[in-house]
Amino acid sequence: MNISNIKDCFGCGVCATVCTRHIINITLNAKGFYEPQITDMAKCTDCGLCMEVCSYSHEGLALTDSNIKSYAAWSNDTEVHRKCSSGGVGFELGRTLIGQGYKVCGVRYNPESNRAEHYIATTVEELIPSIGSKYIQSYTVDGFKAINRKGKYLVTGTPCQIDSFRLYIRKFRCEDNFVLMDFFCHGVPSMWLWKKYVAEVEKRIGKITYVSWRNKFTGWHDSWAMSMDGEKTGEKVNWHDSYNMLIREKKGFYNSRLSQGDAFYRLFLSDSCLGKACYDKCKFKYDKSSADIRIGDLWGKTYQNNEDGVSAAIAFTEKGDDVLKQCNCTLIEHPFDIVAEGQMKTVPLMTQKYHIMMRLLKTSLSIKTTKRILDIYDKFYRHLLK
Ligand SMILES: Cc1cc2nc3c(=O)[nH]c(=O)nc-3n(C[C@H](O)[C@H](O)[C@H](O)COP(=O)(O)OP(=O)(O)OC[C@H]3O[C@@H](n4cnc5c(N)ncnc54)[C@H](O)[C@@H]3O)c2cc1C
């Protein structure tokens, strides 16, 4: 039994991490999502490990005995609070655990390959590039493979990545060494969408050197913004200098916001180009998680006037609750439905729009034209429904 028949899965990469024969590659499939491929079937011993750690081929969740505590949370460090996507609790958890001898497996954006990747941070400096959500599917394999199961780690990721990861550490009886963190997840968009967006922006600013996915210049509620620098940009800032990244207050050279019609966010949030598994296999919405801690944006009524950013922080285990209480954050306990107000409770609906988008993304049409076609489709559809 092996993963050779698994298609359109979560693309979490844990099968490739566990394979002792090193014959599983994670590559982008025809729709622009990560998927496993066995490179040399003759070397497969049929040990079944790849299937044992695969969340996609398991019913239910790896964590079954959760005991939920839910908080509104934000960092007490104003620089961190300003820079992070919501309240900065993700960064503060990492910082606290690094202080206790843990390493952090988080996600940074790699401008060379234009993709989001898991990596290991061993110091607070190295943790800084993990700040902020990168709204594309991350490539996990190099980061996950670099984890020494005998060491202590905070591992962060999408709920499906974390569910498989829990199966993996349980299999090797080393769960005690790990703290797992996921987030309320909308789903991940096709990498073809991101590539179209990047191609358009690079025509203007040259090869992208830096991307910030959210910023709070015009307040937290309007923080869906792309801010980018490229090689043609006059200004030269060394974005590997983490201090610069943390305190960055001014805008990048290229700026675009959802509230002004940004094409990437418009198409991502239209639910028309998510991974197939996000529609028909996601089992992690709302209060379903295999993590010790879930974070997210607390967009609900209780904090509607807050423009600094508030994180939702949910502890599913006692371990998660202990860590949350140790980090440099203000925590205010609320019932779960207050903290999770506005989060998706069910999977998104796969409509005709998905099939149209999957075709459009493979054409050479620009992202602007792709967005225009989708807008026309929406208008036409709304008209038909009247
Ligand atoms: C694809 C995606 C969909 C999301 N959907 C929702 C949603 O529907 N509702 C909601 O409330 N929040 C969602 N979030 C989470 C949200 O954007 C913030 O991460 C959250 O508010 C916490 O912010 P923060 O300021 O505490 O931490 P941040 O500093 O933003 O920490 C972000 C953490 O997420 C990890 N991370 C970043 N990008 C990725 C990635 N591509 N894949 C895996 N891990 C990553 C980083 O390693 C870091 O640990 C989503 C995030 C992503 C990446």
Q: What is residue 252's predicted lDDT score, i.e. its pLDDT?
A: 66
Q: Would you say the CB of residue 290 lies under 6 angstroms from ligand 1?
A: no
Q: What percent of the chain has pLDDT over 70?
A: 95
DSSP line for 132-189 = S---S-EE-HHHHHT--TTS-EEEE--HHHHHHHHHHHHHTT-GGGEEEEEE-----B
Q: Would you say the CB of residue 343 lies under 6 angstroms from ligand 1?
A: yes
Distance (Å, whole) CA 257 – CA 319: 38
Helix 191-205 and helix 367-385: axis angle, to 10°?
130
Q: What is residue 132's predicted lDDT score, i.e. its pLDDT?
A: 85
Q: Copy the structure tokens of residue 385.
A: 């429904």
Tell me the residue type at 50.
C
Long-range CB pairs of 3-8, under 8 A, 24+ apart, other chains included: 3/36, 3/38, 3/50, 3/51, 3/54, 3/57, 4/38, 4/41, 6/35, 6/36, 6/54, 6/56, 6/57, 7/35, 8/33, 8/35, 8/275, 8/276, 8/277
Reported as a single tens digit per residue, the pLDDT across 161-176 is 999 999 999 999 999 9
Give distance in angstroms: CA of 184 to centre of ligand 1: 8
Q: What is residue 380's predicted lDDT score, i.e. its pLDDT?
A: 85
Q: Would you say the CB of residue 131 lies under 6 angstroms from ligand 1?
A: yes
Q: What is residue 241's predicted lDDT score, i.e. its pLDDT?
A: 59
Q: Would you say the CB of residue 190 lies under 6 angstroms from ligand 1?
A: no
Task: Locate the ligand 1 atom nearest the alpha carbon of residue 135 and give its number.
Answer: 1
Give distance in angstroms: CA of 245 to centre of ligand 1: 17
Check whether 237 has a pLDDT greater than 80.
no
Q: What is residue 218's predicted lDDT score, i.e. its pLDDT?
A: 81
The verdict on pTM exceeding 0.85 is: yes
Asked if 324 and 293 touch (Cβ cutoff 8 Å), the reply is yes
Q: From 287, 333, 330, select the one nearest 309 (Cα to Cα).
A: 330
Q: How far is CA 53 from CA 5, 137, 160, in A?
A: 15, 19, 11
Check whether 46 has a pLDDT greater than 70.
yes
Give distance in angstroms: CA of 203 to centre of ligand 1: 28
Atom 28, ligand 1: which residue's CA is nearest? Answer: 132
Q: Would you say the CB of residue 116 lies under 6 angstroms from ligand 1?
A: yes
Asked if 246 and 131 touch (Cβ cutoff 8 Å), the reply is yes
Q: What is the CA radius of gyration of the chain?
A: 20
DSSP line for 9-67 = -----HHHHH-TT--EEEEE-TTS-EEEEES-GGG-----HHHHT-GGGSSS-S-----
Pocket-testing residue among 104, 119, 133, ligand 1, by greatest number of atoms within 8 A of Cβ = 133
* Beta-strand relationship, 311-315 and 178-183: unpaired
Q: What is residue 70's predicted lDDT score, i.e. its pLDDT?
A: 98
Banded model confidence at residue 192, pLDDT cuts 50, 70, 90: very high
Q: Copy the structure tokens of residue 266.
A: 């418009």
More confident residue, 55 or 380: 55
Atom 50, ligand 1: which residue's CA is nearest? Answer: 185
Banded model confidence at residue 217, pLDDT cuts 50, 70, 90: confident
Give distance in angstroms: CA of 157 to centre of ligand 1: 8
Q: Would you say the CB of residue 107 lies under 6 angstroms from ligand 1?
A: yes
Mean pLDDT of the chain: 93
Give distance in angstroms: CA of 311 to centre of ligand 1: 10
Reported as a single tens digit per residue, the pLDDT across 327-373 is 999 999 999 999 999 999 999 999 999 999 999 999 999 999 999 99
Reported as a single tens digit per residue, the pLDDT across 282-325 is 999 999 999 999 999 999 999 999 999 999 999 999 999 999 99
**What b/e readout covers 74-109, taking b as 16+ CB neighbours within 10 angstroms?**
bbebeebbbbbbbbbbbbbbbbbbbeeebbbbbbbb
Give distance in angstroms: CA of 16 to centre of ligand 1: 23
Q: Residue 134: how many CB atoms within 10 A of its CB?
A: 22
Q: Residue 172: how many CB atoms within 10 A of its CB?
A: 13
Task: Locate the ligand 1 atom nearest the alpha carbon of residue 134 and give its number.
Answer: 38
Helix 367-385 and helix 352-362: axis angle, to 10°?
160
Q: What is residue 223's predicted lDDT score, i.e. its pLDDT?
A: 85
The gap from C-alpha 312 to its chain's centroid, in whole angstroms, comes to: 15
Distance (Å, whole) CA 376 – CA 383: 11
Q: What percent of the chain has pLDDT over 90?
A: 78
Distance (Å, whole) CA 137 – CA 132: 14
* Beta-strand relationship, 224-230 and 208-214: antiparallel
Q: Residue 382: how many CB atoms within 10 A of its CB?
A: 9
Q: What is residue 210's predicted lDDT score, i.e. its pLDDT?
A: 84
Give distance in angstroms: CA of 136 to centre of ligand 1: 10
Q: What is the dihedral of CA 189, 191, 196, 198, to 10 degrees?
A: 100
Q: Would you say the CB of residue 340 lies under 6 angstroms from ligand 1?
A: no
Q: Identify the structural domains of the chain with CATH numbers, from first to last.
A: 3-57 (3.30.70), 191-271+351-385 (no CATH)
Strand partners, 38: 24
Q: In 3-state terms, what secondary structure has residue 219?
A: coil
Atom 8, ligand 1: which residue's CA is nearest? Answer: 186
Reported as a single tens digit per residue, the pLDDT across 251-275 is 567 788 889 899 999 999 999 999 9
Q: Would you say the CB of residue 132 lies under 6 angstroms from ligand 1?
A: yes
Task: Locate the ligand 1 atom nearest the alpha carbon of residue 89 and give its number.
Answer: 26
Give distance in angstroms: CA of 130 to centre of ligand 1: 10
Helix 89-99 and helix 318-326: axis angle, to 10°?
90
Give distance in angstroms: CA of 284 to centre of ligand 1: 15
Helix 352-362 and helix 191-205: axis angle, to 10°?
50
Q: Would you say the CB of residue 156 lies under 6 angstroms from ligand 1?
A: yes
Q: Copy the structure tokens of residue 6.
A: 């698994």
Check whether 244 has a pLDDT greater than 70.
no
Q: What is the largest CA-CA distance in the chain?
A: 61
Asked if 98 and 71 touch (Cβ cutoff 8 Å), the reply is no
Q: Would you say the CB of residue 84 lies under 6 angstroms from ligand 1?
A: yes
Q: In 3-state terms, what secondary structure has residue 214?
A: strand
Give distance in angstroms: CA of 356 to centre of ligand 1: 28
Check whether 250 has a pLDDT greater than 60.
no
Give distance in angstroms: CA of 133 to centre of ligand 1: 4
Reported as a single tens digit per residue, the pLDDT across 62-96 is 998 878 999 999 999 988 888 888 999 999 999 99
Q: What is residue 239's predicted lDDT score, i.e. its pLDDT?
A: 54
Give distance in angstroms: CA of 210 to centre of ligand 1: 18
